[in-house]
Chain A
Amino acid sequence: MSNELGTVLQLFMRSLETGSVYALAALGIIIIYRTSNIVHFAQGSLGMFNTFVVTYMFTSFRLPLWASVLCGVAAAVGIGFLVDFLIIRRAKRVSSLAKQIITLGLIMVFLGLAPMLFGVDPLSLPRFIQSGDIGLGRASISYNAILNISLGLVLMGILFYVLQKTKMGLAVRTTASNESTARLMGVPTGLVTLAAWALAGVLGCLSGVMIAPTTTVTTSLMDAVQVNALFGCVLGGFQTFYGPVLGAYIIGVGRNFLVYYVSSIWGEQIMYLFILIFLIFRPNGLIGRKFVKKV
């Protein structure tokens, strides 16, 4: 009984950890979507690249992990600024479909940059807290997982506080609801999108640093994160900032439980099938309204 409970608890905590990774990435995607009207397919690739920066700083320059992460965050901010300044704001008149292709171009650029700068050999990144577990009956959860979960929650808590309660957040929300009106009202929308791209980069980098210790750092590091973050966005709906985060956690939890209790082979597919069926009944996600077209 207590073992069973322990297993559930352990599964749940592990799910929260994966969920945090997906949620951070999803938050990056939704911030870009709401401020620049682009579905950010390169969120994972940018995160992958910045995780390479962290890993490289750690292994080649022997910086402490926290300093390496700071370097990665700085790189993420810089790259975010560059992407917005050099490309996104110059592509205002490009159709919204073509804008998605820009992020695809970015994927290629960073898929090329990573091996060019950091070599083709897979690297590895250690966990923040190397060892130590909290026992939960027969199950246990690592301190590092708890750190990741809390980091994710705290980070998102701060972001949502800033979005809802501060003047800066108001500027972001106004830009998100109507960019041209916001500009007319004196909201510095250019600054908002600049900050959005930097922030999305940082979120991507952190999700990369969280997932890296579980695998090796290669160019495909973030493929699954990108896909699941996108699914989180449709599950939660593209109309709010918190919907995708919620969706991402649901996917993290749902996936792990299905894989453990239903089928280790088909669990993930069943999860995706559920998302599809859910979308058929709620075509705009959990928290989304339907727009009515006028003839």
Chain B
Amino acid sequence: MNDSSPSSSNGGPNLAAALFHSAYPRFILFGLLIATLPLFSGLGLMKSSTLNYIGNVLVYAVAALGLNLLLGYSGLISLGTAGFMGLGSYIAAYVSKDMGMSFWAALATAVLIPTLIGLLIGLISLRIEGIYLAIATLCVSEILLKSFEQADSITGGMQGKSVSYPVLFGHAFNRSSTYLMLVVVLTLVMMLTHSFVNGQKGRALHAMRGSEVAAQAMGVNLLQYRLIAFSLATAYSALSGVLYVYFVKFSYPSVWNLNLSLYVLAAVVIGGLRSIYGTVVGTFVVWAVPDLILKKLPVVGAINGLPYIFNGLLIIVVIMFAPQGISGLWLSIPAMKKKKLPPAGKEAV
């Protein structure tokens, strides 16, 4: 986390330039920024519950980034996010609590097993397409959800399953340090995702979405890349579930339903397809805006349910007036500025 930008040796203005023009330092800056939030809470500038909401956003953002890999980059859809998040959370809880194994073992199993199921869905995706594929993934998610409810001995059934904060590097974490862990994980995930999508494999996903025939002609093996897309999205979901269970310290079956998958989908579309920062912003809009902002407003916040109505309307309005999502709006700001400027030369005839 404390690594500064690679070009820092040049010093001075170059460092500033690198900070703003190179992707990695910006991600680290972003991570440092959200990492300082507990300080505000400690100084009494921010309510302690606010930290919980922000922490939830960080957790869900990981799943949303995974769905963006699938939907935005690869053009494949899934409504199975919630089921895989739940699976990740229960496996992590079971391995660390019931089996008494380390955080790392819990993390590894909780990501690996769902990823294998994700591979199976990747296989299915070669036969089933579009809305049928979306509902097929929902089907997988529902099978998992029903199993969470029924497999009492592992999941605790309807009573849910509890864990304690993780023990890492010999330290028993508390809420603040777990929050920092979320920040570190999200920042890392953002950086890795950024490198991945801008590299050869990421371009192959783009090609698969943009033109399957061109992708094949250029040597992209569709099966291989669908497997990559689905296993990555599932791995991200499972990781998000692991983070959830360690931060919230509880996993209930009722959390992992269709609505959660739809919220993650909304976060991706609202934030903007193929935008990493946009996805995080979209997650914030979906999960934190009703509780952190709308509930604080006079009148609106006081009435039961009203924040959610507003958030629903906000989502609808964003979709209708900014179909490219918030990142699309952001990108169009420079274009708008340009239009306002007087023409540079006298080229017009």
A–B contact with Cβ pairs below 8 Å: the answer is yes
B308 engages A112 (CB within 8 Å): yes
* B263 close to chain A: CB less than 8 A: yes
The contact sample of 29 A-B pairs, CB cut-off 8 A, is: A39-B134, A87-B316, A93-B323, A97-B269, A101-B319, A104-B263, A105-B312, A107-B262, A112-B305, A112-B309, A113-B309, A115-B305, A116-B304, A116-B306, A223-B258, A226-B258, A227-B142, A227-B258, A234-B131, A238-B131, A266-B150, A269-B147, A269-B150, A272-B142, A273-B143, A279-B139, A280-B128, A285-B132, A295-B213
Given the complex of chains A and B, what is the CA–CA distance between A104 and B308 in angstroms?
12
- Which residue of chain A is the closest to B263 with respect to CB atoms? A104
* B124 close to chain A: CB less than 8 A: yes
B306 engages A112 (CB within 8 Å): yes
A234 engages B146 (CB within 8 Å): no
A112 engages B316 (CB within 8 Å): no
Residues of B within 8 A of A91 (CB): 319-320
Given the complex of chains A and B, what is the CA–CA distance between A265 and B269 in angstroms?
36
From B134, B139, B147, B270, contact of A101 by CB (8 A): B270
Within 55-86 of B, Cβ neighbours of A (below 8 Å) are at: 71, 77
Residues of B within 8 A of A220 (CB): 254
A101 engages B315 (CB within 8 Å): yes
Given the complex of chains A and B, what is the CA–CA distance between A266 and B129 in angstroms?
27
Contact string against A for B residues 292-324, beta-carbon threshold 8 Å, 1 for contact and 0 otherwise:
000000000001111111111111100110010
A88: min CB distance to chain B, Å: 10
Main secondary structure of the interface of B (DSSP, over half): helix
B136 engages A276 (CB within 8 Å): yes
Main secondary structure of the interface of A (DSSP, over half): helix
Given the complex of chains A and B, what is the CA–CA distance between A114 and B305 in angstroms?
8
Known contacts A91-B320, A269-B143; A108/B311 CB under 8 A: yes
B319 engages A105 (CB within 8 Å): yes
Instruction: Name the residue among A113, A272, A273 with the largest chain B CB count within 10 angstroms.
Output: A272
Within 71-116 of A, Cβ neighbours of B (below 8 Å) are at: 87, 90-91, 93-95, 97-102, 104-116
Residues of B within 8 A of A280 (CB): 124, 127-128
B105: min CB distance to chain A, Å: 27
* B140 close to chain A: CB less than 8 A: yes
* B183 close to chain A: CB less than 8 A: no
B138 engages A230 (CB within 8 Å): yes
* A172 close to chain B: CB less than 8 A: no
Contact string against A for B residues 228-263, beta-carbon threshold 8 Å, 1 for contact and 0 otherwise:
000000000000000000000000001001110011
* B266 close to chain A: CB less than 8 A: yes
Known contacts A108-B308, A238-B131; A223/B257 CB under 8 A: yes
Contact size class for B? 35 or more
B134: min CB distance to chain A, Å: 8
Chain A residues with CB under 8 Å of chain B are 39, 41, 87, 90-91, 93-95, 97-102, 104-116, 119-120, 220, 223, 226-227, 230-231, 233-234, 238, 265-266, 268-269, 272-273, 275-276, 279-280, 283-285, 295
Given contacts A272-B143, A280-B128, 9 further A-B contacts (CB under 8 A): A98-B323, A99-B319, A116-B303, A116-B306, A231-B135, A234-B131, A268-B146, A269-B150, A272-B139
B214: min CB distance to chain A, Å: 10
B132 engages A104 (CB within 8 Å): no
- Which residue of chain B is the closest to A294 with respect to CB atoms? B213
B312 engages A109 (CB within 8 Å): yes
From A99, A107, A114, contact of B312 by CB (8 A): A107
Instruction: Name the residue among B270, B305, B310 with the largest chain A CB count within 10 angstroms.
Output: B305
From A227, A238, A265, contact of B138 by CB (8 A): A227
Residues of B within 8 A of A120 (CB): 304
A191: min CB distance to chain B, Å: 22
* B181 close to chain A: CB less than 8 A: no
Residues of A within 8 A of B259 (CB): 107, 223
Given the complex of chains A and B, what is the CA–CA distance between A109 and B312 in angstroms?
5
From A93, A101, A113, A284, contact of B269 by CB (8 A): A101
Residues of B within 8 A of A39 (CB): 131, 134
Known contacts A101-B315, A280-B127, A284-B132; A108/B309 CB under 8 A: yes
A115 engages B304 (CB within 8 Å): yes
Given the complex of chains A and B, what is the CA–CA distance between A69 and B85 in angstroms?
39
Residues of A within 8 A of B269 (CB): 97-98, 101
Contact string against A for B residues 103-141, beta-carbon threshold 8 Å, 1 for contact and 0 otherwise:
000000000000000000000100111011011101110
* B265 close to chain A: CB less than 8 A: yes
Contact string against A for B residues 142-155, beta-carbon threshold 8 Å, 1 for contact and 0 otherwise:
11001100100000
A131: min CB distance to chain B, Å: 31
Residues of A within 8 A of B307 (CB): 112
Residues of A within 8 A of B143 (CB): 269, 272-273
Given the complex of chains A and B, what is the CA–CA distance between A271 and B119 in angstroms?
22
B132 engages A111 (CB within 8 Å): no
B142 engages A87 (CB within 8 Å): no
B270: min CB distance to chain A, Å: 7
B150: min CB distance to chain A, Å: 5
- Which residue of chain A is the closest to B132 with respect to CB atoms? A234
B323 engages A104 (CB within 8 Å): no
Instruction: Name the residue among B150, B308, B312 with the largest chain A CB count within 10 angstroms.
Output: B312
Residues of B within 8 A of A104 (CB): 262-263, 265-266, 315
A269 engages B146 (CB within 8 Å): yes
From B124, B311, B316, contact of A102 by CB (8 A): B316
